[in-house]
Chains A and B, each alone.
Chain A
Amino acid sequence: NAGVTQTPKFQVLKTGQSMTLQCAQDMNHEYMSWYRQDPGMGLRLIHYSVGAGITDQGEVPNGYNVSRSTTEDFPLRLLSAAPSQTSVYFCASSYLAGARETQYFGPGTRLLVL
């Protein structure tokens, strides 16, 4: 098992550019989510999905889109990058969507928006 994988590891964008952060898991997990990590703020939930075709907003969804066409993949799209989106992005997954489930995290994508 590769677990949760994320690409790219690092990306530099200019303001206004769009891009897609990729996330995949090979554990047949139903629940997948995206977080952003900023200094002194912990991790904040952007979007999540409880299964293929089902997505919902988290705490900080503005400026981001997601879709879940397969169980394995959960890409995060930045529509028009802004400097405020400079952050480290983590994808996570868990077997089910229950509150006691352990979430498994990917290695992260470090994004710099100039």
Chain B
Amino acid sequence: AQSVTQLGSHVSVSEGALVLLRCNYSSSVPPYLFWYVQYPNQGLQLLLKYTSAATLVKGINGFEAEFKKSETSFHLTKPSAHMSDAAEYFCAVSALTGTASKLTFGTGTRLQVTL
């Protein structure tokens, strides 16, 4: 079984401030981890993913995440927030079960960026 916990359903930061969105996972098999972003009234778009190659993963739009097995975490960061980063962010864990993988999502964190 696998699960994802995203701490904080809403996060507000000032433009130019550090963005930190938290994600902890639980998985009975080695996990693959994803961060997706959803802009209003749109589908989900991949930001980055961890597939066991490197623990620090760089994604689009200046975001990165670090896989920490000892802490079962995969927090998303960005050094300097832009207004355009306002969106909902989903952490997800994927594991192969039977014939196919299943992607299990967290409940999401809505990021607000203020002037």
Is B105 within 8 A of A42, CB to CB? yes
- Determine which of B9, B42, B105 lies in contact with A43 in the assembled complex, contact meaning CB atoms within 8 Å: B105
B52 — nearest CB in chain A belongs to which residue? Answer: A100
Asked whether A100 lies within 8 Å of B49 as measured between CB atoms, the reply is yes
**Number of inter-chain CB pairs below 8 Å:** 65
Interface size on B, residues (CB 8 A): 28
Partner of B101, one of A43, A97, A106: A97
Q: Is the CB of A98 within 8 A of B101?
A: yes
B25 to A: closest C-beta gap in Å: 13
A99 touches B96 (CB 8 A): yes
**CB within 8 Å of B: which of A47-77?**
48, 50, 56, 58
Question: Which residues on A sit within 8 Å (CB–CB) of B105?
Answer: 35, 42-44
A40 touches B107 (CB 8 A): yes
With an 8 Å Cβ cutoff, the count of chain A residues facing the other chain is: 28
Closest Cβ of chain A: how far from B85's Cβ, in Å? 19
The residues of B that contact A16 with a CB separation of less than 8 Å are none
CB atoms of A90 and B94 under 8 A apart = no
Residues of B within 8 A of A104 (CB): 46
Which positions in B face A, CB cutoff 8 Å?
4, 9, 32, 34, 36, 41-46, 49, 51, 90, 94-96, 98-108
Identify the 5 closest CB pairs spanning chains A and B, nearest first.
Answer: A105-B43, A99-B101, A42-B105, A97-B100, A100-B51
- Listed A/B pairs (25) with beta-carbon separation below 8 Å: A4-B43, A31-B100, A31-B101, A33-B103, A35-B105, A41-B107, A42-B90, A42-B108, A43-B90, A43-B105, A44-B105, A45-B103, A48-B100, A56-B99, A90-B43, A90-B44, A92-B44, A98-B96, A99-B101, A100-B94, A102-B34, A102-B49, A105-B44, A108-B41, A108-B42
